[in-house]
Amino acid sequence: MHKKARILTYHRIGHPRDGKSYEALTVSPQRFKAQLRAMHFLGCAFGGLDAMTAWLRDGDDLPLRYTVLTFDDGFEDLYEHAFPLLQKEGIPAIIYLVSDCTEDKWQRQRSPSPLRLLNWSQIREMADRGIIFGSHTRTHATLTLCTDEQLHDEVANSKKVIEDKLGRAVTHFCYPFGKLNDRVVDEVGEAGYTTACTTKKGSVLPDVDLLRLPRLKVGKRMGLGRFLLRMTLRS
Site of interaction with Zn ion (CB under 5 A): 72-73, 176
Nearest to Zn ion of 18, 73 (CB atom): 73
Nearest to Zn ion of 47, 176 (CB atom): 176
CB of 157 to Zn ion, least distance (A): 17
CB of 49 to Zn ion, least distance (A): 17
Partner residues linked to 134 by β-bridges? 96
Nearest to Zn ion of 134, 176 (CB atom): 176
Separation of alpha carbons 50 and 171, rounded Å: 9
Q: Give how far Cα 56 sits from Cα of 82, 175, 208, Å.
A: 28, 22, 9
Nearest to Zn ion of 36, 197 (CB atom): 197
CB of 232 to Zn ion, least distance (A): 27
Candidates 205, 206, 229; CA nearest to 218 is 229
CB of 171 to Zn ion, least distance (A): 19
CB of 4 to Zn ion, least distance (A): 25
The H or E element spanning position 162 is helix 158-166
> Taking the CA of residue 120 as centre, how many other CA atoms within 13 Å lie in the half-sphere pointing to its CB?
11
Q: Which residues contact 63 (CB under 8 A, 6 or more apart)?
A: 2, 45, 47
Nearest to Zn ion of 55, 175 (CB atom): 175
